[in-house]
Amino acid sequence: MRRFPAAEFCILSGKTIPFRIRSHTAGFPARREGISISEQNRENVILFPKTIDYYQIELTRLLETERYGEAIGLLRFLSSVDSGDERTNEEWRALLEWLQTLEPAETGEAGRAASIAEEEEEDISEDVLRKRHFAERSRTDAEYAGKLLDMLDREPSLAKQALALEQLSMLEDEGVARALRAWLAKTPLPSMIQFKVLQILKQRGEEGSVSFPRMGEEVTVDIQDTPASFDEFPDVLGEVLDRIVRASEIKQPTLAYFARQTWHEFLAAVYGTSFYRQLAAMEPEHVDAWAAAFQLFLERATFGTASEDEALEQYGITEELRFVWQRASERLEEFMKKEFPGR
């Protein structure tokens, strides 16, 4: 599983405070260096987007290995603070309520057993352990794949859908790929979920084209061409990210850190659309215009303000490139409003 660096950030009583996440146990919140978040001041804590990403990954990991007791502990902590996005807050609350309806044996003993097993086999890769675990579940429950597919249709929670998809990706059931193709084609889905389905279909060896609605148009993509990782996107798109990372990692390392994840999310969101094809065919001289637009976008999202004149000068944006820069800025704003409403 991909891990984010330990350094994270939150807002406490209006101040930005860095802290390091050292460990996670059932007694959340995790121990931190630099601050102590007590019960009485948790309501003043607002998590930054990268902190939220870290917790979402940790939560998925706990659920995938059926460590429900620890997941409940984490969700109780997350439900007591503010993510800055009401949709995320509601998903955490709904997932907590759902987990609390499980039998105690499922949330307690099974979780501890999974934790012990994981520790005993820590020298084996996590992917191998997960595949073994879900293969065993599938063998002992003939309806397991069907239950996960049903969850995709009936669960409005993105967290639960993502969890079901992760588990389905580990199963060898031949009906999974067929069901995922149909689900993708018939159901309006968030762009990140759509991209995840495409990656799972490719991972399972599927080929051929699939059509589905995305960003206001009907798109058709070849499954085998879906980037399995972000290194597989066209080189010119990686150059935009490299440009902003080089420009900001010394003076604004926090911005460089956010840039990677946000650019990856943006590419996944637009993949397969007519706009993506235009973006992938970007002229090399337009890289700086996109990098300038992206930096300004990140600075406004992260710090609330940005200097256009400074950014345009930094990236050498001439009058000839201003139209490209303005268009790039509009596309990034559209992406943020659509994918993260209210944030």
Q: Residues 56, 60, 62, CA angle at the centre, nearest 5°? A: 120
Q: Strand, helix or coil at 141?
A: coil
Give pLDDT, residue 335.
76
Whole-model pTM: value is 0.66
Q: For 81, phi and psi rounded to 5 degrees?
A: -120, 180
Mean pLDDT of the chain, nearest integer: 75
Better-scored residue on pLDDT, 182 or 125? 182
Predicted pLDDT at 81: 77
Whether 1 contacts 126, CB under 8 Å: yes
Rounded CA-CA distance 343/341 in Å is 6
The whole-number average pLDDT for the span 305-322 is: 91
Cα(221)–Cα(36) distance, integer angstroms: 49
Q: pLDDT-based confidence at 331, cuts 50/70/90?
A: confident
Q: Write 232-240 long-range contacts (CB < 8 A, 24+).
A: 233/267, 233/280, 234/280, 236/280, 236/282, 236/284, 236/287, 237/267, 237/279, 237/280, 237/282, 239/284, 239/287, 240/282, 240/287, 240/290, 240/291, 240/294
Averaged over 53-73, what is the pLDDT?
75
- At residue 82, does pLDDT exceed 80? no
The three-state secondary structure class of 9 is strand
Q: Tens of pLDDT along 184-216?
A: 998 888 888 899 999 999 999 999 999 999 988
Q: What is the pLDDT of residue 221?
A: 96
Is the pLDDT at 60 greater than 80? The verdict is no
Work out the burial of residue 210: count CB atoms within 10 Å of its CB; fewer than 13 is exposed, 13-18 middle, 19 or more buried. buried
Mean pLDDT value of segment 277-281: 92
What is the enclosing helix (H) or strand (E) of 210?
strand 209-214
Q: How confident is the model at residue 147 (pLDDT cuts 50, 70, 90)?
A: confident
Mean pLDDT of 155-170: 80
Q: Where residue 233 falls among pLDDT bands split at 50, 70, 90?
A: very high
Q: Which residues of 275-287 are buried (b: 16+ CB within 10 A; e: fewer)?
A: ebeebeebeeebb
| More confidently predicted of 83 and 200 | 200
The two structure tokens encoding residue 13: 């009583």
For residues 171 and 143, the answer to whether their CB atoms sit within 8 Å is no
Neighbours of 263 (CB within 10 A): 23
Percent of the chain whose pLDDT exceeds 90: 29
